[in-house]
Amino acid sequence: MTRRLRGVVAAAATLAVAAAAAGCSSGSGSSKGSGKLTVWLTVDAQESWPDLVESVNTRFKQAHPGTDVSVEYQQWTTKNLKVDAALAGHDVPDVIEMGNSETVNYIVNDAFAPVDPSKFDHAGEWLGALREPCEYNGKTYCVPYYVGARVGIYRTDLFQQAAVAKAPDTYPELIAALDALKARYGAGDKAFSALYMPGRYWYAALAFVKDTGGEIAVKKDGHWQSALSGPKSVEGLKAWKGLIDSYYVGDRSKDNGDEPAVVGQGKVGVFYGNTWEADAAADPQSGGNPELKGKFASFAFPGPSGGPLPPFLGGSELAVPAKSRNKDLAQEWIKLFTDRTSQQRLIKANALPNNTAQLGDVDAKGVNGPAAKAAARGWVTPQAPGWVAVEKANILQEMLEDIATGKHSVEDATRTADGRIDAVINKN
């Protein structure tokens, strides 16, 4: 998942997958293979841990000297189109990287071959937000790779000047810090936002739903039903609305797509985002201000419930296409690429591991320490066949904009959203 794209947008699998998967066979491929294993990874591996790819290929070659590995790097913005085109033909890659919000349509349309979880390190401790998108009808169809989690990010210099001694650990401490920022800077600058959290930022708003025990949608008797108007979900959205009413200054009809550029203007005390966005806010290429470099630190954003705000875990999975002629070898490569040793390398690159056991290996004082702390409460979007349609229709964003702008009450907006979601969520 790209640090600059996928932390903001969960790409949806295209509806063309049904046709692409037609004629797929889920049988096991020969372990001897074709003499060449083709792996499609996204550019994150090329940019952030190319040495891991090289070392795994070396280890694989030692175990399977008769098979060459060809790794091809894909852009997130065009990957699914290429995947669909490949799956519609016969010359398919043997390993494909997918986003954890992208897998469901491919799996239900038989595009991926089942894998044996017992072959993989820490399979019993895979993060739920990575494990659940791989499971269907009692089988596993992909392997968790790595994950990212949103955290609170704050201006250390502004905290110091506002006499806030440290990053907040609890929700009352968060409110106290925001009050201090608002009092120190907001009175003299009406554009200053103690907290940057725009209205259509659904990853943030729905984290409050999860924090209060609410759900986006639930599955009962094989049927998905939206649950946003449930009492716990409404409670969470009201907590979110109260927070932005008190501390967010800005356009409530926008999302967080330009968050680094907005923060880079220097009028934000705290924001909720991915750790890379702190660097981006100081990077002119992202619209940031280089004068802010070194002035950000992160913390596990606390929720009203008393624990860390449960973050959406945007992550990556590795799948073996059902049409692959090298299924067994593909699983062997994935096993090496996701084992304990490989996960340690990902941790050094400031990614989070695919399992709860190795979350403890993340440096608590490092940039990703707060993200590792929050990740234990992480969540992913409903693994429903029609979730793609929900995202494409911007139902969540429109609901949140109506709430944030005061156009509709939380109760009315969620009831409307529930009806719209229920109309499509069970359709493949």
Q: What was the pLDDT predicted at 67?
A: 96
Q: Are the C-beta atoms of 332 and 322 separated by less than 8 Å?
A: no
How far apart CA 149 and CA 306 sit, in angstroms, is: 18
Distances (CA, A) of 104 to 132, 137, 354: 10, 12, 19
CATH classification code of 17-149+313-375: 3.40.190.10
Regions of the chain where pLDDT drops below 70: 1-34
Task: Please choose, from the candidates 380, 359, 244, 235, the residue with its C-alpha nearest in 3D space to the C-alpha of residue 300.
Answer: 359
Do 17-149+313-375 and 151-311+385-422 have matching folds?
yes
* pLDDT for 3: 42
d(CA 392, CA 252): 20
pLDDT of residue 49: 97
Q: What's the pLDDT score for residue 34?
A: 53
pLDDT tens by residue, 46-95: 999 999 999 999 999 999 999 999 999 999 999 999 999 999 998 999 99
CATH of domain 151-311+385-422: 3.40.190.10
Domain ranges of the chain: 17-149+313-375, 151-311+385-422
Q: Tell me which residue of 201, 231, 238 sits closest to 214, measured CA to CA.
A: 231
State pTM to two decimals. Answer: 0.88
Predicted confidence at residue 319, as pLDDT, reads: 98
